[in-house]
Chains A and B, each alone.
Chain A
Amino acid sequence: MTAEATDRRLRTALIALCAVGIAIATYLVYIHYAGIKPICAASGGCEIVQSSKWAKFVGIPVADIGLAGYLTIMASLLFLKGELNRLVPMCLALGGLAFTAYLKYAEFVLIKNYCIWCIASAIIMLCITVLTVWRYVRAPPQAAPAAAAAG
């Protein structure tokens, strides 16, 4: 498989992962503003996590921040061109992963409860980060106009 084909497949996978992340974040935003309990059969800790003080960051619900993050990564994958199409999603994903690490710390160490939706979102962000880094590393070499034109 050529580097270009691998790049296209990775980009498609990343867009799909962002779509799943957007779906989860949208659900969490919805339950936050609707004031309803999240479906949380497996752990039972979703409501505790969602209603804790860690559910907001500088006054903004973290579900909103997550949704904005996934949308921004997807937009950068869809609309940016060339090197930026690989670099910007990677930087955004790394920032998202850093924020996710903070949220997981709050969830498991401070709140001592876990929410399956948050964990699912964290796994998706981790996958997005790994794939964006891999895509950036494996990106086909950029054309070197100076060298090609030299004669």
Chain B
Amino acid sequence: MSTPPQPPTKKERRDAAREARVEAEQASAASAQRKRRLAIILGSIAAAAVIAIILIAVAGGGNDAASTAAKTGKAKGGADTAAEFAGIPQAGVGLGNPKAKVTVVEFIDAQCPICKAFSNDTFPTINQNYIRTGKIYYQFRTLHFLDNNNGGTDSIRGAQFLNAAGFQNKMANATSLLYRNQGTEGTGYMTDKFLRSIGNAIPGFNTEKAMVDRNTPKAKALVATADALGARYSVDGTPTLLVGPTGGTLAKINYTNVSSPAEFQAGIDAALKLNP
């Protein structure tokens, strides 16, 4: 004979209710914890994404002169550059009087920031005192060292364009403008847009012709000639300036400060004294 189930005692009911309450509280706490963790994960991922986007924007973005030039389609300084070289004969890579007794050869790299400093700070004095007066004949020779350092193509692209500008006897204008609007080294800023903006800022210049000419064997041969000349004179950096008798052997101008015209003038004056 079985006894009928006894109803739970008051204590048992109280214990069961407490157990149920504890379970519910634990389930609620676990749910809250899951929600909190999810919020933390999503917040962390969002923060990481923002950091990555900012870093990439800073790395690849361009608020420099080069990107401004590329955006506007016309580089800054066209009028100033035109005035700088007005009345001075230009032919190919040469600037000034080819019959001058003394020749100065400048080795440049289009993306070299030190070349920019020379172009902006020192070259105008040399141009005014020696080239414009017919005392020296000046040549630009384009090297492309920096592509090897940063794995880019800015130097070679700039070199070919500058030599192509020489076909229209505007290499000095293009060189000066390129440095005035130079971008950050190794960022790939020497785009077709940027090069067109340089060409568009030169009065009377046929930009599209230069864009075609830069890829011709003739333009590439000039780059190779510059390489060979640089190797002959053991040029291992830019800017390097050689000076000496026109048609003769040249010697490097030693300098410590690329922005000091006096150091370069001293080298040129010495050559002029030797070749009166």
Which B residues are CB-close (under 8 A) to A52?
149-151, 186
Q: Chain B: which residue is nearest A107 at the CB level?
A: B151
Judged by a CB distance under 8 angstroms, whether A98 is at the interface is yes
Q: B262 at the A/B interface (Cβ < 8 Å)?
A: no
CB-defined contacts of A113 to chain B, threshold 8 Å: 151
B44 at the interface (CB under 8 A from A): yes
**Could you tell me if A105 and B59 are in contact, using CB atoms closer than 8 angstroms?**
yes
Q: Are A109's CB and B60's CB within 8 A?
A: yes
Asked if B151 and A95 make an inter-chain contact with CB atoms under 8 angstroms apart, the answer reads: no
The closest CB in chain B to the CB of A101 belongs to B52
Count contacts on B: residues with CB < 8 A to the other chain. 31
A45–B151 Cα gap in the complex (Å)?
A: 8
| Interface positions of A from 127 to 151, Cβ below 8 Å from B | 133, 136-137, 139, 141-142, 144, 146-148, 150-151
In the bound complex, residues from chain B placing their C-beta under 8 Å from that of A87 are: 40
Expressed in whole angstroms, the minimum distance between the Cβ of B187 and any Cβ of chain A is: 6
| Cβ-defined contact, A147 with B26, below 8 A | yes
**Given known A-B contacts A52-B150, A95-B51, A102 and B59 have beta carbons under 8 A apart:** yes
- With both chains docked as a complex, state the minimum distance between the C-beta of B147 and any C-beta of chain A, in angstroms: 10
Task: Say whether B150 contacts A111, CB under 8 Å.
Answer: yes
Contacts of B38 on A, CB cut-off 8 Å? 137
Bound together, the chains give a CA A144 to CA B59 distance in angstroms of: 47
Docked complex Cα distance between A54 and B151 (Å) = 11
Residues 183-195 of B, flagged 1 when their CB comes within 8 A of A and 0 if not, give: 0011110000000
Summarize B's interface: helix, strand, loop or mixed.
helix
Q: Which of B29-37, B202-210, B225-233 contacts A (4 or more CB under 8 A)?
A: B29-37
Interface code A53-71, partner B: CB below 8 Å = 1, 0 otherwise?
1100000000000000000
In the complex, which range does the number of interface residues on chain A fall in? 35 or more
Q: Which of A45, A101, A141, A150 contacts B56 (CB 8 A)?
A: A101
Residue B221 lies at the interface, judged by CB distance under 8 Å to chain A: no
Binary contact track B11-41/A, C-beta < 8 Å → 1, others 0: 0000000100110011001100100011011
Shortest CB–CB separation between residue A146 and chain B, in angstroms? 8
- Which of A90, A110, A133 has the most C-beta atoms of chain B within 10 angstroms of its own C-beta? A110
**Chain B residues, CB < 8 A from A151:** 18, 22
How far is it, in angstroms, between the C-alpha of A142 and the C-alpha of B30 when the chains are bound?
8
Q: Which of B22, B26, B29, B150 contacts A53 (CB 8 A)?
A: B150
Query: Chain B residues with Cβ under 8 A from A136's Cβ?
Result: 37, 40-41
Interface residue? A51 (CB, 8 A): yes
Does B47 sit within 8 A of A, measured CB to CB? yes
The B-contacting residues of A in range 96-118, CB under 8 angstroms, are 97-99, 101-102, 105-106, 109-113
Query: When the two chains form their complex, are residues A49 and B151 in contact, meaning their CB atoms are under 8 A apart?
Result: yes
Chain A residues with CB under 8 Å of B86's CB are none
Q: Is the CB of A141 within 8 A of B149?
A: no
Q: Does A20 contact B (CB under 8 A)?
A: no
Asked if A102 and B41 make an inter-chain contact with CB atoms under 8 angstroms apart, the answer reads no
Pairwise interchain contact A137-B18, C-beta atoms closer than 8 A: no
Does B92 belong to the interface (CB within 8 Å)? no
Query: A98-B52, A136-B37 given as contacts; is B59 within 8 A of A106 (CB)?
Result: yes
Assuming the contacts A49-B151, A99-B51, A136-B37, asked whether A144 and B26 have C-beta atoms less than 8 A apart, the reply is yes
Q: Cβ of B49 < 8 Å from any Cβ of A?
A: yes
- Docked Cα-Cα span, A102 to B59, in Å, equals 8
Q: Which residues of the other chain, B, contact A48 by a CB distance below 8 angstroms?
A: 150-151
Cα distance A136–B38 in the bound complex, in angstroms: 9
Interface residues of A (CB under 8 A from B): 45, 48-49, 51-54, 87, 90-91, 94-95, 97-99, 101-102, 105-106, 109-113, 133, 136-137, 139, 141-142, 144, 146-148, 150-151
A to B CB contacts below 8 Å, 6 in the list? A101-B55, A101-B56, A111-B150, A111-B151, A136-B37, A148-B22
Q: Interface on B for A, CB 8 Å cutoff?
A: 18, 21-22, 25-26, 29-30, 33, 37-38, 40-41, 44-45, 47-49, 51-52, 55-56, 59-60, 149-152, 185-188
